[in-house]
Amino acid sequence: MSTTPLPEPLLELRGINKSFGAVHVLHDVDFAVYPGQVTALVGDNGAGKSTLVKTVAGIYSADSGQRYFGGQPVQIDSPRDAADLGIEVVYQDLALCENLDIVQNMFLGRESMKGAVLDEIAMETRARETLASLSVRTVSSVRQSVASLSGGQRQTVAIAKSVLWNSKVVLLDEPTAALGVAQTRQVLDLVRRLADQGLGVVLISHNMADVLEVSDRVTALYLGRVAADVPTSDVTHSQIVELITAGRSGDLGLSAPATA
């Protein structure tokens, strides 16, 4: 088992509960994101992954529980609150505008102004610098329209957009879904580079091969509860699948009364 002490979490949730009417979706969830690490958030459909992410992002408010950022208690009541802290989410639909180019997409809603006009030079320069800092070499021009990009290139642009604003925590929702082998390789390399630059990265994925390859920790949700939060090196593919489907794998996971 791993004995390396963990650093202080960048983001920590303690005892988070969330219900929608009579449906209790999250049950006393503890979740932490560490600097320089990729935390894989896994679980079956309906396990509560999306609700947890939206609670982190300020889209949903928690019914109870505490949230901490950099060790300090924080209120996250809106996406703006999350963004101000340095939390960015790249959703599966990417939220990119196909009729705009890469620069326009990266600065959409946060455009740089020079007097009363857009500062196109400054935005283009920052877009190039951000892509270069992430070692992105698959995009030939930052003035390409998003409509002309491949799925992997679009995912790269969406991720680069998320780190443009000095973000500290980035949550990626199924970033390799529907990508080919080569494009998946590019995106996974980029995910690892984000962590290597000191960011806390959350990878939400159903692809266990991706999880085992790129993540440092795995947090498994089962019916709204945390079944396990362990170093990736301490679990196997089959154990993760059992945690996802049954909430338990051998001595690891929820007790029988909690899963009944």
Task: State the Cα torsion 74-26-167-92 to the nearest 10°.
Answer: -150
Among the candidates 133, 151, 166, a domain finishes at 166
Q: Are residues 19 and 29 in the same domain?
A: yes
Average pLDDT of every residue of the chain: 92
Contacts of 200 (CB under 8 A, 6+ apart): 9, 10, 11, 33, 34, 35, 36, 37, 39, 168, 169, 170
**C-alpha span between 227 and 72 (Å, rounded):** 26
* Average pLDDT of span 74-86: 94
**Does 255 have pLDDT greater than 90?**
no
Q: At what angle do helices 181-196 and 151-163 cross, to 10 degrees?
A: 10
**C-alpha span between 87 and 177 (Å, rounded):** 22
- The better pLDDT of the pair 94, 200 is held by 200
Domain encompassing residue 97: 93-166
Q: How confident is the model at residue 257 (pLDDT cuts 50, 70, 90)?
A: low
Q: Are residues 107 and 216 in the same domain?
A: no
> Which range is least confidently modeled, 4-13, 15-24, 83-92?
4-13
**Does 104 have pLDDT greater than 70?**
yes
* Average pLDDT of span 224-253: 96
User: Hey, what are 108's tokens?
Assistant: 């959409």
pLDDT digits 0-9 by tens, 41-78:
999 999 999 999 999 999 999 999 999 999 999 999 99
**Does 256 have pLDDT greater than 70?**
no
Check residue 1 and give its pLDDT.
Answer: 42
Among the candidates 104, 139, 166, a domain finishes at 166
Q: Are residues 98 and 50 in the same domain?
A: no
User: Hey, what are 85's tokens?
Assistant: 């802290």
**In the chain, how many domains are there?**
2
β-pair partners for 11? 33, 69
> Any idea which residue has 């901490």 for tokens?
68
Check residue 258 and give its pLDDT.
Answer: 47
**C-alpha span between 141 and 152 (Å, rounded):** 15
* Average pLDDT of span 143-150: 94
User: Hey, what are 218's tokens?
Assistant: 């795995």
Count the Cβ atoms, other than its own, within 10 Å of residue 153: 20
Q: Which H or E element spans position 51?
A: helix 49-56
- The better pLDDT of the pair 169, 138 is held by 169
Q: Are residues 256 and 187 in the same domain?
A: yes
Q: Are residues 239 and 177 in the same domain?
A: yes
pLDDT digits 0-9 by tens, 30-49:
999 999 999 999 999 999 99
Q: Are residues 156 and 205 in the same domain?
A: no
Count the Cβ atoms, other than its own, within 10 Å of residue 76: 24
Check residue 61 and give its pLDDT.
Answer: 93
**C-alpha span between 14 and 217 (Å, rounded):** 17
% the chain with pLDDT above 70: 97
Distances (CA, A) of 147 to 83, 151, 205, 212, 214: 27, 10, 25, 32, 29
Among the candidates 121, 136, 166, a domain finishes at 166
Q: Are residues 173 and 249 in the same domain?
A: yes
Q: Are residues 98 and 66 in the same domain?
A: no
Check residue 259 and give its pLDDT.
Answer: 45
Q: Are residues 240 and 260 in the same domain?
A: yes
Q: What are phi and psi of 245, to 5 degrees?
A: -90, -25
DSSP E strands, 119-244: 169-173, 200-204, 217-222, 225-231
> Any idea which residue has 């993540």 for tokens?
215
Q: Are residues 158 and 213 in the same domain?
A: no
Q: Are residues 81 and 199 in the same domain?
A: yes
Check residue 136 and give its pLDDT.
Answer: 87
> Any idea which residue has 């997409």 for tokens?
105
* Average pLDDT of span 100-110: 93
CATH number of the domain to which 244 belongs? 3.40.50.300
pLDDT digits 0-9 by tens, 169-188:
999 999 998 788 988 998 99
> Which range is least confidently modeled, 33-42, 99-108, 172-181, 189-198?
172-181
Q: Are residues 229 and 108 in the same domain?
A: no
